[in-house]
A and B are shown apart, each in its own frame.
Chain A
Amino acid sequence: MDKKIFWKRCMSTLAVTVGLTLTLPGAPLLAADKVVKIGNIIPLSGPSATVGEQGKNAREMAVAEINAAGGIASLGGAKLELVYADSESKPEKGVGEAERLINTEKVNVLTGCWNSSVTYPTTAVAERYGVPFLVPVSVADKITEQGFKNVFRIAAKDSWWTRDQFSFIKDMSAEFNTEIKKLAFVYENGDWGQGIAGNWVKLAKAAGYEVVLNEPYPSTTTDLSPVVQKIKRSRPDVLMMVSNAADAILLTNTLAEYRVRLKALISSGGGHADPSFIQAAGKSARYLFDIVEWETDVNKPGAREANEKYKKQYGQNLTGEAVDAYLAMYIIKDALERAASLDPEKIRQALADTQLSDGPGMIVGYDKVVFDEKGQNKEASLVMVQINDIGNGLERITVWPKSARRVGYTPVFPKP
């Protein structure tokens, strides 16, 4: 007798299912003006929302410039159109959004996703559908080591970041005649932190440093003084860190409070490069070395102007993440010009053949964008900056490689 109740419920629900699926509108594709759709999967809400916002701003600035300059000439002046999807920093959301952007929004190119844990599975979707995927920043090595044809990365990868951090230590130690023996590693317990710390351990062993502390911490932590005490007691010469924004601020402040004496603090971008980091950490951040893709004082034509324009529009300095997103739009433009077609395979081929060395996008520290056979930008390089106050408030000053060092600045090393 309950059968009916059951059946009727089944039916009412199925009726809703059907009704719903039938009313789902296919996004109407108005082919009035020719546009090239760029799908961007970035964290707009959730824990990495600050980074997502920077990436969005930078993309918008670049696309506005490109469109104002006449769009894509070889496609009859086609305009670029940005479509965003919020990943909330969750891999499964990123994957779902990639499906949607490819199938429903019919995007021609994808970019994103900053969180390596999102980018990794999401690029697999793009590969399956044969849609070119340009990764501005997601540093995990494995992203370009999946054997995918459609994935290209602008930023340097994990192993280059760590490699350069160690070269930096060696160079500084020689330049300032300071002996560095003991290292301490402190990092957020995630995909990113674990990946970088794994490389550090190998590099330290190869270079003969003693690792006195290798400590992950939960990135949602509310108190880092126990970790800071551990750092203090292990007496390292150099502390190396990987942090997201909230914990980067907390860690830096707590280190200052406990007066931990170190010869140098070296961080790995991310939270330490967040625009609110300097504001929120204040004086405690002084003398910190941070490795980044890009800095406002980079000696490249157009960089200062781009930064000023960005600052005027969005109230913050450009960051490495933002610049890579900005450059990504120009790389796409360049590839589209050469492809002269919206055929995904042609775009992919054009991206693979990229030899970009000029134009407004090239405000990065290196001279050329060239992808290797795995899709990694071969030329990507990194700079080391020091946070210091030389009369204009705290700022980030490029110090390494020596050729890129800001003229007239002498790095403070070891930390007083």
Chain B
Amino acid sequence: MTGNETLAPLDNSSGSNAGPLSVSGSKVTDQGVNPRKKFETISLAALLLIAFGLPLVMRSPTYLHIVILIYFYAYLTSSWNMVGGFAGVLPLGHSVFIGVGAYTSTILSLQYGISPWIGMLVGGVLSMGIGVLIGLPTFKMRGAYFALATIAFAEGMRVMVENLDFLGPFNLNGPRGLQIPPLNFGFLNFMFKGKEPYYYIILIMLIGVLVLTWIISRSKLGYYLNAGGEEPEAAMALGVNVARAKLIAMAMSSFLTALAGTFYAQFSLFIHPKSIISLDLSFEIAFIALIGGRGSIAGPLLGALLLRPVSDFSRIYFGDVFPGLHLVIFGVILILVMIYQPRGIQEPLTRAYNRFIDRLSKEEQAKEVS
């Protein structure tokens, strides 16, 4: 709470526009059982139940596949959000961390028979190192330069992978990519016949990253990041080490992103530099975050829930008749949301939700009165 005190003026400066991460005290009306709290606890439990029970109802692997990818993108975007959202910069090369995670665990399991679960952690740590390495010099830079530096780094890495068949003893297989033979199914091998295990793994990963985001947003680090993003000079004047906070965020973000890389490799059993370390993927993560609302906890999830189905279904329905139309639709949504909801779709949704809760609590109050 002490950190809260010192940074209170900063927080006020962001005014009414403060994102959901803002730490302005919530207007708790102390009146015994808070109806909002009750409602939220119940509905959260219900939703968790539904999320965990979904595969029991949704038998079609296609839809399960789509939902898995939605969670996957929500996870990636939430990881991205730690840097891109809270630290107030725009990284556009996050696919490099996905690549590091995917390649590390795949090479370790293909060449040395090490379980991808271990490879996942190794990849995460490696990726964290790379993240810090990129972050050290680039966080000094402002918006545009930072975005370009991350793009160049990711593209440079892709070119390297495409040109190297071997990196020391490790077989990268150049532009041909790596295929994981679907032979040894089982939990230890991170390889399953059905989709359900993947579903639960990515769901748990997603919940984990959301909880982590929430913890960070309440921690000192969160305040520092938020302050550094909004008013870097003022924050520094107050003795906040913005650069260090950003580096920590970058380290976490690159670590978490690499885990998703391993998940992706094990889920699709094929990795290919052009598609896994690609600008398209890096951009898509940023798009989802911005459309959902960057710097908020729910934004990435909302963005993935909106954009993934839109892009999937528009490709499915228009792909053969009007090739490319789905990407036009994607671009139009992007522009419209940015023009009309520059803070992402989480903002109007949050407002609507608040109105709903207010009405609910009023009704309950009315009931109590009568």
A and B touch in the complex (CB under 8 A): yes
Which chain A residues have a beta carbon within 8 Å of chain B's beta carbons?
1-2, 4-18, 20-21, 24, 26, 44-45, 49, 52-53, 56, 84-86, 90-93, 95-96, 99-100, 102-104, 117, 120-121, 124, 128, 189-191, 194-195, 218
Q: A11-B40, A24-B63 are in contact. Are A45 and B319 (CB under 8 A)?
A: yes
Contact yes or no, A20 B353, CB < 8 A = no
B61 x A21 contact (CB < 8 A) = no
- Please encode chain B, from 281 to 322, with 1 for each CB lying within 8 Å of some chain A CB and 0 for all others: 000000000000000111001100100010010011001100
Q: In the complex, which residues of chain B have a beta carbon less than 8 angstroms from the beta carbon of A189?
A: 162-163, 174-175
Q: Is A9 a contact of B297 with CB atoms below 8 Å?
A: yes
Contact of B65 among A8, A9, A100, A194 (CB under 8 A): A100
Which of the candidate stretches B22-30, B107-115, B254-262, B331-339 sits at the interface with the other chain? B22-30
Q: How far is B227's CA from A93's CA once the two chains are assembled, in angstroms?
A: 40
Q: Which residue of A lies closest to B193 (CB)?
A: A128
Chain B min CB distance to A158 (Å)? 12
Q: Are the CB atoms of B309 and A20 closer together than 8 Å?
A: yes
Residue of chain B at shortest CB distance from A88? B315
Known: A20-B305, A190-B175. A44 touches B323 (CB 8 A): yes
Q: Which residues of chain A are within 8 angstroms of B275 by Cβ–Cβ distance?
A: 90-92
Q: How far is the CA of A279 from the CA of B270 in the complex (A)?
A: 37
Partner of B26, one of A1, A56, A218: A1
Ordered by A's residue number, 17 sampled pairs between the chains whose C-beta atoms are within 8 Å are: A1-B28, A6-B214, A10-B298, A11-B40, A12-B349, A12-B350, A14-B48, A16-B302, A21-B67, A24-B63, A86-B323, A91-B268, A100-B62, A104-B60, A117-B272, A117-B274, A120-B270
With A and B bound together, what is the CA distance between A124 and B193 in angstroms? 12
**Cα(A95)–Cα(B198), bound, Å:** 15
**Contact at B319–A120, with CB atoms within 8 Å?**
no
Q: How far is the CA of A117 from the CA of B174 in the complex (A)?
A: 13
Given contacts A1-B25, A95-B268, contact A15 B319 (CB under 8 A): no
- A120's contact among B179, B182, B274, by CB below 8 Å, is which? B179
Evaluate contact between A9 and B270: CB separation under 8 angstroms: no
User: Is the C-beta of B69 less than 8 angstroms from some C-beta in chain A?
Assistant: yes
B14 at interface by CB-CB < 8 Å:
no
Select one of B37, B51, B61, B176 contacting A195, CB under 8 A: B176
**B62:A99 contact, CB within 8 angstroms:** yes
Decide if B218 is an interface residue (CB 8 Å cutoff).
yes
Which residues does B use to contact A, with CB under 8 Å?
20, 23, 25-26, 28, 36-37, 40-41, 43-44, 47-48, 50-51, 54, 58, 60-63, 65-67, 69-70, 159, 162-163, 174-177, 179, 182, 193, 210, 214, 217-218, 268-270, 272, 274-275, 280, 296-298, 301-302, 305, 309, 312, 315-316, 319-320, 323-324, 326-327, 346, 349-350, 353-354, 357
Q: Tell me the minimal C-beta distance from B324 to chain A in angstroms.
A: 4
The residues of B that contact A124 with a CB separation of less than 8 Å are: 182, 269-270
Nearest CB of A to B233, in Å? 26
Do A52 and B268 contact each other (CB < 8 Å), given the known contacts A8-B357, A11-B43, A86-B315? Answer: no
CB neighbours of B177 from chain A (8 A): 91, 117, 191
User: What CA separation (Å) do A45 and B280 show in the bound complex?
Assistant: 14
Q: What's the Cα separation between A141 and B327 when bound, in Å?
A: 33
CB distance from B367 to the nearest CB of A (A): 21
Complex CA–CA separation, A242 to B25 (angstroms):
64
**Which residues of the partner chain B approach A10 to less than 8 Å between Cβ atoms?**
44, 47, 210, 297-298
CB-nearest residue of chain A relative to B69? A96
Tell me, rounded to whole Å, the shortest Cβ–Cβ distance linking B79 to chain A. Answer: 16
From residue A25, how far is it (CB to closest CB) to chain B in Å? 10
Q: Which chain B residues lie closer than 8 Å to A15 at the CB level?
A: 43, 47
A17/B297 in contact, CB under 8 A: no
Known: A12-B349, A13-B301, A190-B175. A86 touches B320 (CB 8 A): yes
Residues of A within 8 A of B323 (CB): 44-45, 49, 52-53, 86
Using A4-B26, A194-B175 as known contacts, say yes or no to A12 and B51 having CB atoms under 8 A apart: no
**Would A7 and B23 count as touching, CB distance under 8 A?**
no
- Beyond A92-B268, A96-B69, A190-B274, is A9–B350 a contact (Cβ under 8 Å)? yes
Inside 8 A of B346's CB, which chain A residues have their CB? 9
Taking CB atoms, residues of chain A closer than 8 Å to B315 are 85-86, 93
Q: Is the CB–CB distance between B319 and A85 below 8 Å? A: yes
Inside 8 A of B61's CB, which chain A residues have their CB? 99, 103
Residues of A within 8 A of B214 (CB): 2, 6
A96 engages B175 (CB within 8 Å): no
Complex CA gap A96/B163 in Å reads 28
A47, closest chain B residue (CB): B274
Q: A8 to B36, alpha carbons, bound, how many Å?
A: 9
Q: Which residues of the partner chain A approach B28 to less than 8 Å between Cβ atoms?
A: 1
Q: Determine whether the beta carbon of A84 is less than 8 Å from that of B319.
A: yes
When A and B form their complex, which 5 residue pairs have the shortest distance between CB atoms, in order from nearest? A9-B298, A84-B320, A14-B47, A86-B319, A121-B270
A5→B20 contact, CB < 8 A: yes
Contact B63 A2 (CB under 8 A): no
What is the chain B residue whose CB lies nearest that of A42? B320
| A16-B305 in contact (CB<8A) | yes
- Give B269 Cβ to nearest chain A Cβ, in Å: 7
Determine how close the nearest CB of chain A comes to the CB of B156; give it in whole angstroms. Answer: 13
Q: How far is the CB of B310 from chain A (nearest CB, A)?
A: 11
Closest partner residue, chain A, to B74 (CB atom):
A13
Known contacts: A12-B350, A189-B162. The answer to whether A18 contacts B320 by CB under 8 A is no
What's the minimum C-beta distance from B155 to chain A, rounded to whole angstroms?
A: 11
Residues of B within 8 A of A85 (CB): 315-316, 319-320
Min CB gap B208→A, angstroms: 13
Given the known interface contacts A44-B320, A44-B323, A191-B177, the answer about A4 and B40 at a Cβ–Cβ threshold of 8 Å is: yes
> Is B316 within 8 A of A100, CB to CB?
yes
Within the complex, the shortest CB–CB distance from A303 to chain B, in Å, comes to 27
Query: Complex Cα distance A72/B234, Å?
Result: 76
- Report whether B20 and A191 are in contact in the complex, using a CB–CB cutoff of 8 Å: no
| Residues in B neighbouring A84, C-beta threshold 8 A | 319-320
Given contacts A6-B297, A10-B298, A100-B316, contact A121 B269 (CB under 8 A): yes
Report how far A100 CA is from B315 CA in the complex, Å. Answer: 12
Query: In the complex, A103→B159 CA distance in Å?
Result: 36
Q: Which residues of B contact A128 (CB under 8 A)?
A: 182, 193
Residue from the list B60, B159, B320 in contact with A26, Cβ < 8 A: B60
List the A side residues contacting B298 at CB < 8 Å. Answer: 9-10, 12-13
CA A96 – CA B298 in complex, angstroms? 26
Which residues of chain A are near B179, meaning CB under 8 Å? 120-121
In the assembled complex, the Cα of A89 lies from the Cα of B60 at a distance in Å of: 25
